[in-house]
Structures are given as C-alpha cells and as structure tokens.
Amino acid sequence: MPSETAFPDPGRHLVRYSGHGTFSPELIVRAAGTSVFTESGRELLDFTSGQMSAILGHSHPAIVSTVREQVARLDHLHSGMLSPPVVELARRLAGTLPDPLDKALLLTTGAEANEAAVRMAKLVTGRHEIVSFARSWHGMTQAAANATYSAGRKGYGPAAPGNFALPVPDRHRPAIVDADGALDWRRQLDLGFEMIDAQSVGSLAACLVEPILSSGGVVELPPGYLTALAEKCRERGMLLILDEAQTGLCRTGDWYAFQHEGVVPDILTVSKTLGAGLPLAAVLTSPEIEERAHERGFLFFTTHVSDPLPAAVGNTVLDVLVRDRLDERARVLGAVLRDGLDKLAARHEVIGDVRGRGLLLGMELVGGDVLGAGGADRLGAAVTRRCFERGLHMNIVQLPGMGGIFRIAPPLTASDEEIARGVGVLDEALADAARDL
C-alpha cells in the first residue's frame, strides 16, 4: 500500500471535471459495504453510495464473484453479437416492469441511455423539441446536456434548438402559490406549457424528467403531478421519458419511482443503480416504439453496447434485490433514516426541510437570516467538512444557491447501526459548523 507521502499532489495531472474544481482531501484505497477507507487508514461511512450508484454497497460478495467468473469466460464482444447474460438481463428487466415496456437496449452510462432515448423519441415522432425541468441533470453528452439546466450550460456556445425548461414543482420553495400559500402545481404546470407552446415551432417530441429530481435538490413531484404531465404530453403527441438513474431498482422503496403514482412512461432509462456501481445502463420501451424506430433506421451502437460482463453484473444485482427484498428494506431503513433526520430538524434550527422517499432523502439547511447572503451554502460546506473529519461522507447539491441541500443516499444494504452512526455524526457536525460560523 502506498505511504501517505506517495502522492503529495494527487490532482496534479488530473483535469478538474466538476464546477467547484476540488477533490476529496484524502485518497481512497479500499471500500467494503457501507464504508470507504482512506490511504491513512480512516474509515468513512458512505452516505452517497459512491456516485449515487452502489445500492448494494461496495465490493458486494455476489458482484465480486460474478466479475471474477464472467471476466474469465466472456467479457466483451462485437456489437452485433449477443451473449446469454445480455439476453437474460433484457428478459428479466422486462419482467420487473409493467406492460408495454418490453424492449431493452443495454448501454454503459446514464447520459448514454438518455442520449439514446432522446434520439429514439425524435426519430419515432419525426420531431425535435425536448422539454425537461429547469433544475434537471440528465448527463453531459449532447442531447442529455441540452436537456440539463442545473449546470454546465454557459461558455460552450449555442445549445441545440428546441430545448425548453419546465418550472420545478418545489413544495418547499413554491414559485406559484394558492390562497393558503401552498404550491399551486397545477397552475404552474399549465403556465409552463403555455410558455412552451408559445415558443414551440410545432415539433414537440418528448418530455424527459426524473420522478424525483436528485441533483435539483431531492424534489419529489407532488401527488398527481406525473399523471397531469403525462396528459400534457399525450395532448401534444409527445413521448414521456422518465430518467430513473438514481431512483430505479428499489432505491425509493418501489422497484421504480414511477410506480408510486402508476404512470407508465413511453421510454424509461435506468443506469447508476442497475450496475450497483459498475458501468451499466438500459433504455426500455414498448415493442411498438421499438418497431417504429427500427423501421426508420434507428442507429445507436457503441463500443460497449450489449457487453456480457456488465450484463452479468446486472443479473446479479437483480438476484440480490429479489433475494434480500431490498425494496422492502429501502422502505423500512428509509423510515428509520427519515425519523433520525426529523429529530435532527427538531434540534437544529438551521435545518429548514427534510424530504424524499425511501433511501433517497434530502435535508435543506437555512442560514440566510443569521449568516447573511449565501449563508446556507457556507453552512453546507462547513457541515460537509466536519462530517468528513468525523468519518461520514456527505454530498451537497453543487448548484448556485443550493449548497445547503444534502442528498442522502446510503446503500440499501446498510445496517440500522450504520444509519444511526451516520445520523449521530451529522448531529455533531451540524452543532460544530453552526457554532463555528
């Protein structure tokens, strides 16, 4: 193992690829279960599941075994060749979904899956305009980036024409309210589409949204919203694409977050959680849409489309999710975590809101009244540092003015003791940071 001085400047030869331009202050050399371990030997509870992906924790024995066996047998093939793991994963994914989502395209990343979904929607509808939320994050490839409004739009030249932003129905920070001061999401949705219709050149192809906005602040869509949005799409001949990169595969307590309201999308994308930390993504749609796309010459093959190694991992992920009933576990453990966060909110005045579903929860800090402009952002950064120092990895939303919002998403395999320990560290970090500031 390298010594503590083996890498005196770890980031020296790395391109800084996130807006804030900083890396973790310590190198991570090992990970197991809900913990990652630094070069100096410190343990950090991982309350972000890596990049919101490792739903089975790190180095899960079943995944380790599958990778060892599969890489020795069959790892990569020409894009026109199929293998048993790919055929099996497509069949099993279809089995987890309601009709008519029966056709799967297996890819690598969430951005790639969203790219393919948008490309398919444009080809099938013969249109080009795409609607997504104003605080969306769908990836950094071309179509995915054009549908992303939370960050990364400035300085890169013109975006593709025909991309429109829809207001976020944020109940904690409502933009349009009713007589009682609560979010009037129906009026907001109507107004949003009035603006889109006014700007559209009559070529609306699809609406691409997350059922719970994660990078946008862990914003759960109000009851009835997704149904109303689907109706708006049908009225205009648009396809509804749901991006479940972070909400799919039991994370929210259901196998898919859209099942909470019973709205079946025309196209579904899953990624992060499907590979449980390894690069695997899928686009799922109906036989009718797949047939229409094929007839019109749908083209989307990549170097690692239908690769057997990640597909084998995906099958193992499904095995563990079913065997260990991790949808139920996410509901139970999510309630435990939510209760802990609610108790923190009762003790710490700087917590303005706790929200989310299952094991995808958000905690929003407030600090403007005491700390002035940007106070919540500074408080969020301070709490993050104190958590890290005390052995807990937390993630704040990296958006201007939203640095006081934590995304809390531990693995579905975390223990009750680990959840309690993480909440305890967060309690201490909140007290420390508020006192210091």
Residues annotated catalytic, as ranges: 137, 210, 243, 246, 272, 407
- In this structure, are residues 148 and 136 in contact, taking their beta carbons and an 8 Å threshold? yes
Taking alpha carbons only, the member of 98, 142, 373, 121 closest to residue 262 is: 98
Taking alpha carbons only, the member of 32, 41, 35, 86 closest to residue 59 is: 32
Instruction: Name 372's Cβ contacts closer than 8 Å, sequence gap at least 6.
Output: none
Beta bridge pairs of residue 396 = 406
Taking alpha carbons only, the member of 300, 285, 298, 299 closest to residue 124 is: 298
CA–CA separation, 246 vs 214, rounded Å? 7
Stated as kind and residue range, the H or E segment containing 315 is helix 308-323
CA–CA separation, 71 vs 232, rounded Å? 46
CA–CA separation, 388 vs 391, rounded Å? 5
313: tokens are: 């991992």
Sign of the alpha-carbon dihedral angle for 139, 206, 245, 331: positive
Instruction: Calculate the alpha carbon distances from 324 to 34, 46, 49, 319, 360 in Å.
Output: 16, 21, 18, 8, 19
Q: Angle at which helices 308-323 and 326-347 pack, to 10 degrees?
A: 70
246: tokens are: 């972070």
Beta bridge pairs of residue 283 = 105, 269
